[in-house]
Structure 1
Amino acid sequence: MNTLHRTALLAAAGTALVLSLTACQGDGDANSAPTSGSSVNVQSPSGKATDASGTTGSANSAGSGGTSGSTASNGGGGSTKASGSSGSSGSASSGEQASASTPVCAAGDVHITAATQDGPPYTHIVLTAKNTSRHSCRLTGFPHIQFLESHKQDVPAVAKSKPEAPVVLAAGDPAYALVKLSDGGREEDNEPVTAFSVMLAGDPTVIAVTAPGSGGIAVDPAKALTGYWTPELRNGADDF
């Protein structure tokens, strides 16, 4: 009896030992699973974990959205500011140019008259161009004059009479041009002129000007010269 009872106890103890070892192995496997899971969690931000695809996708989406938003903000804001700045600069430049430059006088902006200069023999006349418009305009170059139908060439201009600065006429202001008719000699081929044509630089409109005096003026086409438009007649530059 004692022998059988001891054998039974040994058998039971062996069974318990086997069960204990089995349980220990089970605990070891259970512990290994979180370790593997922890490794997946660490790798999931880099996109290597398969069961963190939702998290990875969310991270990519957030990253993409953040990058896209940042680009749109920087690009859009930068572009808008740059574009606005450029537009403002361009607008400012256009405004400065518009205020600095004055339109060229057209034929309809001025009234041109002629008067003799000095006493007889009348070798020179003075053309006066008065700005009759309500705005300022710029009178450029010299008057393009043709005295006679038989001489279609413009009267040559004297270079030394050219002013250094543009002639800008406010409303009502005049400009002048001295014109030589002849040398005043009796042997010249003078022809009587009662009216002649004048054109402004940049405008093909022909302006008819009445010659001063009751009998008109005597013109030698070979000796005729004209000065440039100036705000006033100047000694030296206008002596020709």
Structure 2
Amino acid sequence: MITTTHRTTLLAAVGTALALSLTACQGDSDATSSSSAAPAATVASTPAAAASTGGKGSGASDAAGSAGSADSTGSSGSQGSADSTGSAGSTGSAGEQVAASTPVCTAGDVRVTAARQDGPPYTHIVLTAKNTGGHSCRLKGFPHIQLLESHKQDVPAVAKSKPASPVVLAAGAPAYALVKLSDGGVDEDNEPVSAFSVMLEGDSTVIAVTAPGSEGIAADPAKALTGYWTPELRNGADDF
């Protein structure tokens, strides 16, 4: 009995020791498992953090890119489209604006004279309209000329002689118009002209102009042509 009791006590003690040993081993295993699991969790969170950081970096990059595209000179501040000198302040446009505000020349503003053209073709004379007024004026179109009392129609104008811009005469400045009298043939129906009439466009006042030369000029009204007023003296052969 003593032996049996002793063995039972011994077995119980051994069992208790084994249980404690197993418990300790399990505790060590759990601790080891926990310590090994912690780095795994950190490694797993690192790509996530990197991905999050990458996302923020991409957003910043996109914002910078958007700011760059929004502030680009080409899209928002193009000097060519906003400050183009050709479209906003061309000389032609400025000249037309000045001409539009300048009063039209009348017979009282100018003195019209006639002279033979210096050099060939000898069938042309030159009309000069000089601004004798004290202010600038705009000389419109071409002179309305009647060479003979028997021929009441105005001498036709040559369209290609029309200047590209309005003719504005400052005080004392001249303008010119070439007048073709005939074709220069000996068989033409020419008539002597000692004086003829000129009217300015926009004014019905008749200006009497003395023909050049002591004997006047010979003109064929059927062949006569006139050029437009121009600020420079031109060769009649260039236009008609």
Q: Normalising by structure 1, what TM-score?
A: 0.57
Runs of 4+ deviating beyond 2 Å: 97-100, 118-122, 233-239
Shift of 1:99: 8.8
Q: Aligned equivalents of 1:158 and 1:134: distance in 2? A: 31
Contact 2:99 2:168 in 1 (8 A): no
Contact 2:121 2:236 in 1 (8 A): no
Give the secondary structure class of the aligned counterpart of 2:160. Answer: helix
Q: Normalising by structure 2, what TM-score?
A: 0.57
Q: Aligned equivalents of 1:189 and 1:236: distance in 2? A: 21
Amino acid at match of 2:197: S
Q: 1:204 to 1:163 in 2, by over 3 A?
A: same
- 1:149 paired residue number: 149
1:131-170 superposed matches below 5 A: 131-170=131-170
Q: Aligned equivalents of 1:150 and 1:128: distance in 2? A: 25
- 2:187 paired residue number: 187
Q: 1:126 to 1:138 in 2, by over 3 A?
A: same
Q: What do the CA deviations read for 1:88-122 (whole angstroms, capped 9, x no partner)?
A: xxxxxxxxx78961000000000000000135883
Q: 1:99 to 1:111 in 2, by over 3 A?
A: closer
Amino acid at match of 1:220: D
Contact 2:162 2:228 in 1 (8 A): yes
- Structure 2 segments unaligned to the other structure (5+ residues): 1-96
Q: Aligned equivalents of 1:201 and 1:157: distance in 2? A: 12
- 2:129 paired residue number: 129
Q: Aligned equivalents of 1:237 and 1:186: distance in 2? A: 19
- 2:201 paired residue number: 201
- 2:7 paired residue number: none
- 2:20 paired residue number: none
Q: 1:157 to 1:99 in 2, by over 3 A?
A: closer
Contact 2:142 2:157 in 1 (8 A): yes
1:224 maps onto 2:217 in alignment: no
Q: 1:231 to 1:98 in 2, by over 3 A?
A: closer
1:102 maps onto 2:105 in alignment: no
Contact 1:161 1:237 in 2 (8 A): no
Shift of 1:137: 0.1
Q: Aligned equivalents of 2:237 and 2:184: distance in 1? A: 20
Q: Aligned equivalents of 1:156 and 1:99: distance in 2? A: 25
Contact 2:142 2:201 in 1 (8 A): yes
Q: Aligned equivalents of 2:153 and 2:100: distance in 1? A: 35
Q: What do the CA deviations read for 1:62-101 (whole angstroms, capped 9, x no partner)?
A: xxxxxxxxxxxxxxxxxxxxxxxxxxxxxxxxxxx78961
Paired residue total? 144
Contact 2:178 2:226 in 1 (8 A): yes
Shift of 1:222: 0.7
Contact 2:178 2:234 in 1 (8 A): no
Amino acid at match of 1:134: G
Q: Aligned equivalents of 2:120 and 2:237: distance in 1? A: 22
Q: 1:237 to 1:125 in 2, by over 3 A?
A: closer
Q: Aligned equivalents of 1:236 and 1:196: distance in 2? A: 20
Q: What do the CA deviations read for 1:124-159 (whole angstroms, capped 9, x no partner)?
A: 000000000000000000000000011100000000
**Percent of matched pairs sharing the same residue:** 86
Amino acid at match of 2:179: V
Contact 2:99 2:138 in 1 (8 A): no
Q: Aligned equivalents of 1:196 and 1:117: distance in 2? A: 17
- 2:66 paired residue number: none
Q: Aligned equivalents of 1:114 and 1:236: distance in 2? A: 14
